[in-house]
Structure 1
Amino acid sequence: MTDITRRHILGASLVVAGTMAMPAVLRAQTGPIRLGTLTPLTGSGGSYGPVMANAVKKAAEEINKAGGINGRELLIISEDDQTSPEAGLRAARKLIDIDKVAAIIGTWASSVTTAVAPVCSQSGVFLSTVSGAESITQLPHQGFLIRTQPTTTLQGIKFGEFALSNNAKNVAFVSPQTPFTESQYASLTKVVTAAGGKTSSLIYDDKKTTLRTEVDQVLRSKPDAIVMGGYTNDTAVLVRDLYRASFSGQLYGFAYAVNKQLVDALQGDVSEGIYTLAPSPAEGSGAYKHVAQLLGIDTPDTYSCQVYDHLNLIAMALAVGKGDTGTVIKDNIRKVSQGGGERVENAVDGLKLIAEGKKVDYDGASGPCDFTDIGDITDAKFRYEQVKGGKITLLKIA
């Protein structure tokens, strides 16, 4: 196994090549199949991107050790999108034009995916993402895109149902402007108003160091619950200013924002009681346990589980299609994810069956990987948690 590092993973790029037990001449004749990861190694998503990139690397190493894809190794080239559309687009162009990847795996922020998806489809490069904005799969991607993250419309519904279950009647939605802001608020409003409640919204500048003016404006509507739609840094500012304004109602946030980093950064009583919601990985499944083992952590996050699934699906699609292009992945990925074959939880087992001429049906660490015609995941479970005593505590998975 050979690791080739171009730059430090938090600085920019990481290139990982796995070598197999095969003659050097054969490797030279066929060459590796190049795949890219584009995750937020820095910026707002920086607490997730490095682990995501490592999950893909580990999964590729495992496949390479088992013989690769039809006798060819996988070469993983990782880039940092910096949680920025501009940086993400530059990195995607490098992966496509210079590195000649067949697929890009793992875009996290919806704004980055929105910028990158058209370039991928125009170049015939397959894109797998963990972004949730409703608009992403409505882009003209010609089938070169799948996502394992539930849409923000579904997440807005879940936030509304969660607040109603806690007897909230007047729900405010407070968020920076993102590609998913409008769809999430609309779905939240639909659920709450259908139950006789009411909603309001406020958009803020996520670069501000204080949001006290915005907080005062929100509190004029006397909400008994506030759903926060931002990322970790701006959510921390919002939570702190709500505490200083003596807001005593319920707070809800995305689990990627209200995370250990936020809780550790704020005094215990400031973050106490915040509810969080996130898509749940398939805890208890063999695939989930395997990701935990690969990464050396007890509870891998949903994004690492999702990109692990992306790599496995792409590897098996390439094997079925006997090729190395984005078009081969596009044409075959549903054949291995929902083709009605033998159930598998990792690509190594799946590739053996494919080599025997058998069909496979992959269920992964993030759950069943079945996709609609436009690339959305068809079903997902959610994880509901609450900050209690300075720790994020599981309430339920449903």
Structure 2
Amino acid sequence: MSLSIGRRTLAALLAAPALARAQTAGPIRLGTLTPLTGAGGPYGPVMAACVKGVIDQVNAAGGVLGRQIQLFSEDDQTNPEAGVRAARKLIDVDRVAAIMGTWASSVTTAVAPLCWENRVFLATVSGADSITLLPHNGWLIRTQPNTTLQGRKFGEFAVEQGGKRIFVMMPQTPFTQSQFAAMKTAAERAGSTAELLIYDATKPSLRTEVDQAMRSRPDVIVAGGYTPDTSVLLRDLYRASFRGKILSFAYSVNQAMLGAIPKEVTEGVMTLAPSPAEGSGAYAKVQRLVNNQSPDPYTCQIYDQVNLILMAMAKGGDATGQIVRDNVRLVSQGSGEAVDNALDGLRAIAAGRAVNYDGASGPCDFNEVGDIIDVKFRYEQVRDGTLVLMKIA
């Protein structure tokens, strides 16, 4: 059967706005690459579910550019090799335009070149300074503060807690050296000292390393690993009767850990993490989406990532990684109409208005290399097996 189209009909179709023409295209394909298992396993499933919740809402309202969004979720297993395999599937098989949510810095470092080589936009929650120093040419952003900023906050907080001799214990990661350098600078600026010991995160006991740390007579120890090795380290510090203060990452000393080891092992441990924008409209939306009154920072960040990507596609009039790359800052910063979700943003963009997105993780303003510019930090302390807020600053 043949189908003929008159010249006037063809001309009208070609002259139609991009929004109307796009309605005949297939679904918009997006991917999440989060740690559903491994050290990041407590966070990845909720992150992926949050993205699905946003996409379900947008699809119910008509989608983006007249197209439905199709989500593909893969597990990076908190492992670079597994992350690369999953990214290859998302890029080569699922043909996604953007990937969201890579968590471990080692995974993001391995996956990022695949993304920019295939013109797939990458939004990450990893913090290693080295990530945005990669030659990505604008193909990635991160909503997580870099490790130089995190290290400075750790160092300043250690000093605030009375630390004169600070001992940092960390496995080797892409962020170890840069984070320690920032801690050391902050400590020395205040007249304190800081030492670093790098340990093997796969060891079942770290007592030898703890004994080495104790010989330095530290008053503050920074436990800088992931949940599995930090659990080992905290047990050995307790057995060694360390009586100083312990600081750690909030993603390591989380409620899952606190429910798995004796309360006395973790009592008094203090944690630090980028703070979500508690009290904001976007934060309330995340609370409802994931049915949790205290959503973690990474879930708040990936909520912002999917909203930004959808609005960038609408702003640019197409659903490619290149369009996201070129338009993400046009919807995330500037003097446009304040929005905190994609639905409001898409309506404003369709009406020809500029938008400025502020999200669940705070203002989403990025510098020229893709680093988030402004963020607050949340400080908590373990008391009787529960994390209790100390301050947000």
TM-score by length of 1: 0.93
The corresponding residue for 2:136 is 141
> Could you tell me which amino acid in structure 2 is paired with residue 360 of structure 1?
V
Q: Give the match's secondary structure for 2:302.
A: helix
Shift of 1:67: 1.1
How many residues are aligned here? Answer: 373
- Secondary structure of the corresponding residue to residue 174 of structure 1: strand
Alpha-carbon offset, residue 228 of structure 1: 1.1
1:298 maps to 293
Which of 1 and 2 has greater Rg? 2
Q: Which residue number corresponds to residue 391 of structure 1?
A: 386
Pick aligned residue for 1:225 from 220, 227, 230: 220
Question: AA paired with 1:143?
Answer: G
Give the match for residue 148 of structure 2: 153
Q: Deviations over 1:238-279 (max 9, x none)?
A: 000011011100000000001112211221111000000000
State the SS of the aligned residue for 2:37. Answer: coil
Q: For the Cα contact (< 8 Å) 2:132–2:371, is it kept in 1?
A: yes
The residue that corresponds to 1:191 in the other structure is 186
RMSD after superposition = 1.0
Work out whether 1:350 is the aligned partner of 2:354: no
Counterpart of 1:214 in structure 2 is 209
CA deviations over 1:260-305 (Å, ceiling 9, x no partner): 1221122111100000000000000000001101111111111001
Question: Are 2:316 and 2:324, in contact at CA under 8 Å, matched by a contact in 1?
Answer: yes
Output the amino acid matched with 2:89.
Answer: K
Deviation at 1:45, TM superposition (A): 0.2
Please tell me the residue identity of whatever aligns with 2:349: I
Structure-1 residue corresponding to 2:336: 341
**Alpha-carbon shift at residue 339 of structure 1 (Å):** 3.2
1:248 matched to 2:263? The reply is no
Query: For the residues of structure 2 that align with 1:276 and 1:125, how far apart are their CA atoms?
Result: 35
Aligned to 1:368: 363
1:350 Cα deviation after fit: 0.5
Tell me the amino acid that sits aligned with residue 51 of structure 2.
V
Tell me, yes or no, if structure 1 residue 132 matches structure 2 residue 127: yes
Residue 50 of structure 1 corresponds to which residue in structure 2? 45
Aligned to 1:172: 167
Counterpart AA for 1:335:
L
Whether 1:315 and 2:310 are equivalent positions in the alignment is yes
Residues 103-131 of structure 1: CA distance to partner in whole angstroms, max 9, x if unpaired?
Answer: 00000000000000111011100000000
Measure how far apart 1:29 and its partner are. 3.1
Change (3 A) 1:158 1:261: same
Aligned counterpart for 1:103 among listed residues 98, 108, 126: 98
Secondary structure at the aligned position of 1:265 is classed as coil
Matched, 1:35 2:30: yes
Gaps of 5+ in 2: 1-20
The unaligned stretches of length 5 or more in structure 1 are 1-25
What does the per-residue CA deviation read over 1:58-89, in whole Å, with 9 as the maximum and x for residues that have no partner?
00111111111110011110000000000000
Q: Identity over aligned residues, as a percent?
A: 62
Can you list the C-alpha shifts for 1:144-176, whole angstroms capped at 9, x where unaligned?
000000011111111111111111100001000
